[in-house]
Structure 1
Amino acid sequence: MNQIAFLLVPGLHLLDLAGPAQVFSTAAQAGHPYRLTYHAEQEGVPTAQGLTVQATTDWPRLTSDDILLVPGWHQDPGAPHTPPVGERTAARIAAHHAAGGLVASVCAGAFALGHAGLLDGRRCTTHHRLQDVLARRHPRATVIRDVLYVTDDRVVTSAGIASGIDLALHLAAARHGPRTAARIARAMVVYARRNGDEPQASAMLRHRAHLSDTVHHAQDLIDTGYTRTLPLADLAAASGVSERTLSRRFTAATGRTPLRYQQELRLERAEHLISQGATTEAAAHAVGFADARMLRRLRATAPRQTA
């Protein structure tokens, strides 16, 4: 069982903690073995919203498969700098990363990672109001502005408040695939965004930013069987609607027909196979095309995805 260890700091923003915690607890409910633990330098941690949360003062026993995540706290950009955590805690954060573990932060949590020395020589981000402060306090870091999250050598930083959900969905997608992340997002009734600072958006997530259960169900079927022929009649019957209704709802929700969505999944997978050394013909057959002509046509007309 993998552990998600949250390090809590006084002045904690509740959503910085609750968003990622909800993502990983939803993943656990879906069958992925996660255990969430909460740690601090004091048992009672006051939050910026006036609620005190309880944590253990025992440092977690972590393995390289575990994630250490630091939610943000209320940080006045003009206030004098004080280290967000003590030297012993900072050393423990650095030690987890040195042992091969992943360390992540939300919002002002980046300052704790900076105090641990993990931002030096790395790209990072934080809340837009704190970007200049972070850059001044950690001049050896490269602060990337106006993005939701940045990943650099197992150090993952995200912007403010709600972006912790995007960060956690990204980590879930990296570990379990975009389909799992999309299902978690759907269960939480949030948009499945992955627009960090690099081109990493999957078609399975790009077109899940809607609330149509019928279309989500049809997408689930296509996601699992996109290499096969999927007649519209079969998709509609499995989704409990007519072909015309499914086509109308699918296009309204995603901006493309079910067939076009299936082709995008095939194209994305084929591009990956080609990047790994497969020939166009082999990639075409692997994703379900009878020959390479359709794949070549799709590659020639497809827009390039950007972050």
Structure 2
Amino acid sequence: MPKVAFFLVPRLHLLDLAGPAQVFSTANDLGYAYGLSYVAESEEISTAQGVVLKAQRDWPSLGRDDLIVVPGWRSPRLSPRPPISAGTRQVLRSHHANGGSVASVCSGADALGAAGLLDGRRYTTHHELTDELAARYPQGSIVRDVLYVVHDRVITSAGIASGIDLALHLVAVEHGAEAAARVAREMVVYARRNGDELQESAMLRHRGHLSDVAHRVQDVIDTRYAERLPLAELARAAGVSERTLTRVFTTATGLTPLRYQQLLRLERAEHLIGHGATVEAAARLVGFEDARMLRRLRARDHFATSA
């Protein structure tokens, strides 16, 4: 049974903790065993939302298959020093050096940085903290505007709800994508997003509905957006007629399946272009036959945004 030890700091954000903890707890309920523990440097921890939590002072025995998670704390700006002791920093370093994994949510990356675990690695954090964290830990490489980054058993996430995405990813790594999908469905979390997706993505904007048919089709498109996906194939995946699919999907998301796929392609292409790809290369990578369609969609999207 893999162990997950959450290290709690004063004024931590409840969702930074509760989101990942719920993922692993739900996985437990579904038969994917995890042993959860909550450790802090004092027995009581006040949260940013005013709830007081109790934690154990002693660390459990951890091995190479186990995970330490540091949730974030209230931090519109980084404090002069992260609120962890030298002893805790050593625990983080030793666990990683012995083959274990460490993860952070939001400003929790500051704790990993203080332990030296960001040096020489790619990492991310909440978009409001990226500049400060990049300046504080220049030996690492900050990755901006993504949900989470995995590098050499150091997993960092953007903050708040992205901790759920991070934990679902870890469940998928440990038990497979089907297990992660079961957990997400049990939690009524349909936006199962990848780490390189934007912190504000079309997947999230158009998942705020409860249509199971639309969610099943979105799962297919999200995974295979760069492929040709005929409406008939999507309808078969959802178990409905093409006409019903178009009606239900449009009612739920405000978009046709094709427009949703184009939006995902466009968003991914913009991300690639922003990281140095040419328009032609980006168009090819996201599934367009040539760059003309991408240029038309970019122009239309720019016009709509400016209007």
**Does TM, normalized by the shorter one, top 0.5?**
yes
1:28-177 correspondence to structure 2 within 5 Å: 28-77=28-77, 79=79, 81-177=80-176
Amino acid at match of 1:133: E
Greater shift in the superposed pair: 158-167 or 9-18: 158-167
CA distance in structure 2 between the partners assigned to 1:212 and 1:123 by the alignment:
37
What's the secondary structure of 2:128's corresponding residue? Answer: helix
Alignment check: 8 A CA contact 1:124 1:157 kept: yes
| Other-structure match for 2:195 | 196
Cα distance, 1:172 vs structure 2: 1.6
Instruction: Quote the sequence identity (%).
Output: 60
CA distance in structure 2 between the partners assigned to 1:248 and 1:198 by the alignment:
28
CA distance in structure 2 between the partners assigned to 1:102 and 1:189 by the alignment:
27
| Other-structure match for 2:273 | none
Amino acid at match of 2:72: G
Amino acid at match of 2:196: D
Amino acid at match of 2:109: A
Amino acid at match of 1:191: Y
Classify 1:216/1:55 alpha carbon distance in 2 versus 1 (closer, same or farther; 3 Å). same
Superposition RMSD in Å: 3.6
Cα distance, 1:170 vs structure 2: 1.5
Alignment check: 8 A CA contact 1:93 1:116 kept: yes
| Other-structure match for 1:270 | none
Amino acid at match of 1:54: K
CA distance in structure 2 between the partners assigned to 1:45 and 1:21 by the alignment:
16
Alignment check: 8 A CA contact 2:147 2:197 kept: no
Classify 1:78/1:213 alpha carbon distance in 2 versus 1 (closer, same or farther; 3 Å). closer
Q: With structure 2 as the length reference, what TM-score do the two structures score? A: 0.69
Amino acid at match of 1:99: N
CA distance in structure 2 between the partners assigned to 1:158 and 1:166 by the alignment:
8
Amino acid at match of 1:92: V
Alignment check: 8 A CA contact 1:84 1:111 kept: no
Alignment check: 8 A CA contact 2:217 2:234 kept: no
Alignment check: 8 A CA contact 1:69 1:103 kept: yes
Q: With structure 1 as the length reference, what TM-score do the two structures score? A: 0.69
Amino acid at match of 1:107: C
Alignment check: 8 A CA contact 2:184 2:190 kept: yes
Alignment check: 8 A CA contact 1:191 1:210 kept: no
Greater C-alpha Rg: 1
| Other-structure match for 1:6 | 6
Gaps of 5+ in 1: 200-206, 221-230, 262-298
Cα displacement string for residues 110-165 of structure 1 (whole angstroms, at most 9, x for unaligned residues)? 01101111000111011111111111211111111111111111100001211111
CA distance in structure 2 between the partners assigned to 1:146 and 1:233 by the alignment:
33
Alignment check: 8 A CA contact 2:249 2:257 kept: yes
